[in-house]
Structure 1
Amino acid sequence: MPKDLQKKLRERLNTKELDASLAGGRYQNHKDLMSFPDCGHKELKYEKWTPIMKPEFLSNESILDQIRQKDRYIHVPYHSFNGYIRVLREAAVKPEVKAIKTTLYRLAKDSKVVKALITAARNGKKVTAVVELLARFDEESNIKWSKRMQEEGVNVIFGVEGLKIHSKLLYIESKKGNIACIGTGNFHEGNAKIYTDYLMMTARPKIVNEVAKVFDFIDRPFSPFRFNELLVSPNSMKSRILRMLDTEIKNANEGKEAWVKMKINHITDTDMVAKLYQASKAGVKIDIVIRGNCSLVPGIANLSENIHCVGIIDRYLEHSRILIFANGGKPRYFIGSADWMPRNLLNRIEVLTPVYDEELQADLLRTVAYGMRDTTNGRVVDGKGTNAFVEGPNFRSQEELYNEYKK
């Protein structure tokens, strides 16, 4: 582009000298490089890890009945996302199912999730889909599927003005007992192949009833709603997490067991950072597996020496959010959609659910522990950008998790 034309364009667009500008001949959709051919060099590709279909999702017994008996979960991409698709498909055809409600943040181009919802609507179920049109990079797909669902009789709601809906929820109303699914990641087949995420399926009445209440909250966001089980933003999630951190501080001061183990994408909220520093100074041991932005600096004497952070860059993008609090020897476990950023805690509808199933609790604890031990792909987050590897014997957390799930 000629210099004078570029100058005029910059003036019209109100861009500055430091704003990025690339020559028009450069390819910019780097996401396509993920499917770049190996050109005959198989050694350049990761070994194929086939997603595991858990036995309960292969059983001839109704998966909805199995969820009513015991909480179920999948941890993608180690587990197959088809387990969740089976839940949706069964709900779409079961006569006792009366209604299905779900939040949809990102939708695949050939979405099995949407096809199951359409099938449910055709079978006379009352189906509601809350679609976020402002999900970056997926706007086109979301709009296309929204129109298709509307044509098929699905009640499509386009979120709430001023509040992006980022929660990952499914609610199934059934004569045999209602069911809810709460996840850390998108109901998106493509994401489920490369993002690590948990999805919990439960029939526990207190949790299920509050998931139903979240949909009422989405419909009437400025009405007062109180949640006892779920942590919901912008309602009360932030204040409740701060209170749980205060409990750890109190227990540490009293000589009781006090620690926090967590896995998260970003920590930038100043109140959260300040509270973590306060907890560290009180003696609370804090382990964090973090993928992205981290505004706290671990390892500072008399401030954050009890905080240890590890970032993992491997074949899968670490995306799940896990919070575990010692709670004086009676640990509390949570999973959900929210990072510790102002936008998540104040400007989005996010949901964290408590986890009561002991099998899932153990799995969450193992995932965080393995992440902290990762010496092949885990880097110490120290605020200095040194990116030093975690020290110790060779240990690759994602490979070890996959091998455990294969047993």
Structure 2
Amino acid sequence: MIDAAITDAGLGDAEDDDFDAVEAPDSLLPDHRYHDREISWLAFNQRVLELAEDPTLPELERSNFLAIFASNLDEFFMVRVAGLKRRIVTGLAVPTNVGRAPSDVLADISREAHALQLRHAQAWTDLVRPALADAGIEITDWDQLGESEQAALTEYFQLHVFPVLMPLAVDPAHPFPYISGLSLNLAIRIRNARTGRQEFARLKVPPMLPRLVAVPGTSEIVRYLPLEDLISNHLDDLFPGMEVLDHHAFRLTRNEDVEIEEDESENLIQALEAELLRRRFGPPIRLEIADDMDDVTLDLLIKELDITDQEVYRLPSPLDLRGLFSLSKVNRPDLRYPPHLPTTAVAFQPTGSSSRADIFAAIRKNDVLVHHPYESFATSVQAFLEQAARDPHVLAIKQTLYRTSGDSPVVQALIDAAEAGKQVLALVEVKARFDEANNIVWARKLEKAGVHVVYGLVGLKTHCKLALVIREEEGMLRHYSHVGTGNYNPKTSRVYEDFGLFTADAQVGKDLTRLFNELSGYAIEKKFKRLLVAPLHLRKGLLRLINAERKIAEAGRPAHIRIKVNSMVDEEIIDALYRASQAGVKVDIWVRGICSIKTDLPGVSDNITVRSILGRYLEHSRIFTFENDGDPQVFIGSADMMHRNLDRRVEALVRVTDERHVKELLDFFDLAMDDGTSSWHLGAGGVWERHSVDADGKPLVDLQDRTMNQVRRRRRSRSVR
């Protein structure tokens, strides 16, 4: 699907499927040339933790990074660790990307994750919790409360907590209860005052109640008590006539990855709903326990949950620091990042006396490149779809939906368009991990409104971010296209860094029309002009582009490859980059998360630089640029450099052709790679070193702050004109 684009770039024959041309068989690469992907992911989460440990960050932002670390690690266990275990159990334990047995990798993960979780707990106890207290936000213990405060919280317990608690006894008449994944629980040992017999009970901390309970008072200090602490100090109310001997917190993580086997006759929605039900009963993969848990209780949990000692994580209380997300409700803007308000992209700013821009007129004038969250999603993508829904000249709207919010104005615009009599196609990816249930709800709501809902191609996730509007103008049909790097989700657009290209280019419109036909029908389309599409030809196209850059370097001319992705894992792409580096190509990799490429291979990776940037926004855009002998080839889109993205998903990159946009993307990338910009540098042994201050101790440039300021200046300069 990249073929025509390659031809346009002068890089090869569009019909040439000879793949040997991209290889360099005389270039020998070392055997141990990849970092383990799972350990690399843990290194990414360590970078998140380092932000929480940074005393220069606002206190509530530090607590938020602790919660993000915890949430990330949960998903890692539910998906990655669960996948490794499943491969071992089923006998499909093929070696990992570094040639190691999954069982050995699990041991490595256990060692690294244990150390990280202890460091995470220590960061809360020794760094963030005291810093919050100094700033007037105190997470307290029951014993530190005064009598009046305890009395007020006891009343709260009786009115709001006690009625929803469900203690479950374990004895010959009551089998060990099912422990749901990620639930916080209390393991309680009690003695029957009448018989003297000891019993065990499990109590689930209700997830629908606030995890941090506000302590009543008029003090300037805001105080909270963890819900499990409140419950623990009222256990006598739950077990009248019993003596409570001991109680300990514990938490279980289960395999919650979805495995769907598809065939052409299967009803995907029904199959997915059944799988979501089965997900609740996935096998245990991690048991977190409070560090004061006694051996008797622990042995019981290990036996009943059928879990190994390696999978037990003994941690200081409190468990499950995702509860710190609730501190986002605290009204202390002085303890957060200074506000960054998204601006309206210059091209979409209203003109004259109008309060609303004509999005279509702006796109007809020039391609528009929008950078979220620095530029507003609401006044660009959302406005584009809402205008299309109400415009009587719009005949059809086609869109992919991978993840969207629960009250999505994007989905509402599609519904409004369908109800207005327009042809509307929504390709809903119901297998978007952990958003499956939400997407099923939206798919059915769209269908009821008359939207044509399809679920993509069998065996492939549709991950591309595409929207196409067909409008009748002067008796002709014009295509208005949007290709993005991020989801059509108004909520995440406020915190995810992404690019989106709007264009009225007829060729892009034809490309999208063909692609949507392929996704919704039986068309098999191989020719695209400005799109690079997976799974058929994106891998080939990227390898050809990398190979072309290598040949330029071998001819003695400057060559430069820049790639920004969330993950860099695919071995074939990495090997091509190694060969390019050997030939003298300058290779800059900007990666947020997993990175399997090495920078410490003499004679192989000498020209490869890898940086990572984490901050207030989640770096999410994907950018691919090739110097191409002075005629840069620049693409943005949805694909990461992973097997699943290149081989098992429908992905799309669009070539950016406007010289202003090309320069903007190159400048943005080069600022990120500059030694004067705060970032993590990948070094020897896969160690990431943070560079946040210069030799004099002065803070380095914050890329995200600098980008926001540049966007503001761009708007002000337009206003002055």
With normalisation by structure 2, the TM-score equals: 0.53
| Kept in 2: contact 1:373–1:395 (CA 8 A) | no
AA at the equivalent of 1:397: L
Which residue number corresponds to residue 484 of structure 2?
183
Q: Secondary structure at the match of 1:130?
A: strand
Report the RMSD for the aligned CA atoms in angstroms. 2.3
Q: Secondary structure at the match of 1:225?
A: coil
Which residue number corresponds to residue 324 of structure 1?
625
Query: Could you tell me which of 398, 402, 405 is aligned with 2:704?
Result: 398
Query: Could you tell me which of 456, 468, 473 is aligned with 1:159?
Result: 456
| Kept in 2: contact 1:67–1:203 (CA 8 A) | yes
1:274 and 1:56 mapped to 2: Cα distance? Answer: 41
Query: Unaligned regions of 5+ residues in structure 2, if any?
Result: 1-186, 188-296, 714-721
| Kept in 2: contact 1:38–1:45 (CA 8 A) | no
| Kept in 1: contact 2:462–2:650 (CA 8 A) | yes
Which residue number corresponds to residue 338 of structure 1?
639
Query: Could you tell me which of 273, 277, 289 is aligned with 2:578?
Result: 277
| Kept in 1: contact 2:678–2:693 (CA 8 A) | no
Q: How far has the Cα of 1:19 moved from its partner?
A: 4.5
Which residue number corresponds to residue 691 of structure 2?
389
1:120 and 1:40 mapped to 2: Cα distance? Answer: 39
2:313 and 2:428 mapped to 1: Cα distance? Answer: 33
Judged with a 3 Å threshold, the aligned counterparts in structure 2 of structure 1 residues 193 and 35 are, in CA distance, closer, same or farther, namely farther
| Kept in 2: contact 1:299–1:307 (CA 8 A) | no
Q: How far has the Cα of 1:371 moved from its partner?
A: 1.1
Q: How far has the Cα of 1:401 moved from its partner?
A: 0.6
Question: Does residue 1:136 correspond to 2:433, yes or no?
Answer: yes
2:675 and 2:467 mapped to 1: Cα distance? Answer: 33
Question: Does residue 1:101 correspond to 2:409, yes or no?
Answer: no
| Kept in 2: contact 1:374–1:396 (CA 8 A) | no
1:335 and 1:80 mapped to 2: Cα distance? Answer: 18
Q: How far has the Cα of 1:299 moved from its partner?
A: 4.3
Question: Does residue 1:64 correspond to 2:374, yes or no?
Answer: no
Equivalent residues in 2 for 1:361-376, closer than 5 Å: 361-373=662-674, 375=676
1:6 and 1:142 mapped to 2: Cα distance? Answer: 36
Q: How far has the Cα of 1:40 moved from its partner?
A: 5.8
AA at the equivalent of 1:140: A
| Kept in 2: contact 1:113–1:187 (CA 8 A) | yes
Judged with a 3 Å threshold, the aligned counterparts in structure 2 of structure 1 residues 386 and 145 are, in CA distance, closer, same or farther, namely closer
Higher mean alpha-carbon deviation, 196-205 vs 66-75, is at 66-75
Judged with a 3 Å threshold, the aligned counterparts in structure 2 of structure 1 residues 336 and 151 are, in CA distance, closer, same or farther, namely same
Which residue number corresponds to residue 339 of structure 2?
48
Deviations 1:82-127 (A, max 9, x none): 1111110111111111110000000101101001111111111110
Q: How far has the Cα of 1:228 moved from its partner?
A: 3.2
1:5 and 1:301 mapped to 2: Cα distance? Answer: 50
Equivalenced residues, count: 401
Q: How far has the Cα of 1:57 moved from its partner?
A: 2.3
Judged with a 3 Å threshold, the aligned counterparts in structure 2 of structure 1 residues 38 and 390 are, in CA distance, closer, same or farther, namely same
Q: How far has the Cα of 1:9 moved from its partner?
A: 3.6
Write 1 or 2 for the structure with the bigger share of helix.
Answer: 2
Deviations 1:345-373 (A, max 9, x none): 00000000000112211211122112112
| Kept in 2: contact 1:375–1:396 (CA 8 A) | no
Equivalent residues in 2 for 1:1-400, closer than 5 Å: 3-4=299-300, 6-10=302-306, 18-19=310-311, 28=320, 30=322, 33-34=324-325, 36-37=327-328, 39=330, 41-59=332-350, 60=354, 62-82=358-378, 83-176=380-473, 177-220=478-521, 223-373=524-674, 375=676, 377-382=678-683, 383-389=685-691, 392=694, 394-400=700-706
AA at the equivalent of 1:294: C
**Share of identical aligned residues, percent?**
35
AA at the equivalent of 1:53: T
Query: Unaligned regions of 5+ residues in structure 1, if any?
Result: none
Judged with a 3 Å threshold, the aligned counterparts in structure 2 of structure 1 residues 139 and 330 are, in CA distance, closer, same or farther, namely same
| Kept in 2: contact 1:251–1:257 (CA 8 A) | yes
2:641 and 2:337 mapped to 1: Cα distance? Answer: 32
Q: Secondary structure at the match of 1:387?
A: strand
1:187 and 1:154 mapped to 2: Cα distance? Answer: 17
1:27 and 1:8 mapped to 2: Cα distance? Answer: 21
Which residue number corresponds to residue 39 of structure 2?
none
Higher mean alpha-carbon deviation, 52-61 vs 92-101, is at 52-61
| Kept in 2: contact 1:72–1:202 (CA 8 A) | yes
| Kept in 2: contact 1:168–1:182 (CA 8 A) | yes
Higher mean alpha-carbon deviation, 297-306 vs 244-253, is at 297-306
AA at the equivalent of 2:679: G
Deviations 1:130-158 (A, max 9, x none): 11111123223212211211111111112
| Kept in 2: contact 1:245–1:275 (CA 8 A) | yes
Q: Secondary structure at the match of 1:334?
A: strand
